[in-house]
Amino acid sequence: MKQLEKTLLMTDLDGTLLPSDKRLAAVDLAAIDRFRHAGGTFSIATGRTLQAAQRYLDALHLDMPCILFNGAVIYDPVSKTVLDAVTLPADAVQMTRKVLDAFPDVSTEILRLNATYVSHLTEHEKVHLQICQVEPILMEPEEIPKDGWLKVLFTIAAERMPALIDFFAQQAWNCVDFVQSEAHFYEMLPKGVTKGSALRSYRTICHLEDWKIAAAGDFDNDLEMLRAADLSACPSNAQPCVKAAADVQLKNSCDMHAIAEWIDQML
């Protein structure tokens, strides 16, 4: 029996596995290979869409399903099929419009499985699209097909984020959930959907009931995944709330190969 047989390592991408330049590092890739050679299984859980994550799925040679859209989708890159998906209610259209009317400096990404729709391009949104290497469809929320909305990403300047969060807190929008996923990003997700809820479904869908699942993340949107895992870790650049929740606080940041550090610990 190999050392890490029946062990799944599920890691966040941005801020955890990916360094600031968004390029997979050779050090981390070599560590993942060692992890697999020892019998471990590797996958990712990300807020990214399928389009934005695809190049990493290919580079990592994933042979297990992954979690996308911050938990709204479980996707099998081998069969190229969606194993599970939870969508936003139709009310998300009116909610998105109300935010746009209240905050002219907000840009929204309405995310469906195979398309990214953008209401208008702010400078922060242009940078995000460039990082994700996604070509958006410019369209107002009311013009987008109402079915299949997996999440809505609101992009705003970091100093304006408290005002945006306060606005959401004043609304009686109980049919959806919200989470901050980066300094500039606030997300509308289907009710009850997190990376943690997806990981619990993943365990059942992939028949991993007797497996040990280790998870790593750095931001608020990773918290529920860390809590749902059997063992959790975070890089040194993680948010304070994530450091408090993780079982292991790694010495290295995402720019200094934190995932390689954790794999070497497990080995």
pLDDT in tens, 193-252: 999 999 999 999 999 999 999 999 999 999 999 999 999 999 999 999 999 999 999 999
Q: What are the structure tokens assigned to 50, written together?
A: 């399928």
pLDDT digits (tens, 9 = 90+) for 169-195: 999 999 999 999 999 999 999 999 999
**What does the mean pLDDT of the chain come to?**
96
Q: Which amino acid is at 85?
A: A
In eight-state DSSP terms, residue 230 is S
Q: What is the rounded distance in angstroms from the CA atom of residue 31 to the CA atom of residue 117?
A: 36
With left for phi above 0 and alpha for psi between -120 and 50, is residue 117 left, alpha or beta? beta
8 A C-beta contact, residue 235 and residue 4: no
Q: Classify strands 115-118 and 41-44 as parallel, antiparallel or unpaired.
A: unpaired
Closest by CA to 237, choosing from 250, 221, 227, 228, is 250
In eight-state DSSP terms, residue 238 is S
Q: What is the rounded distance in angstroms from the CA atom of residue 169 to the CA atom of residue 207?
A: 38
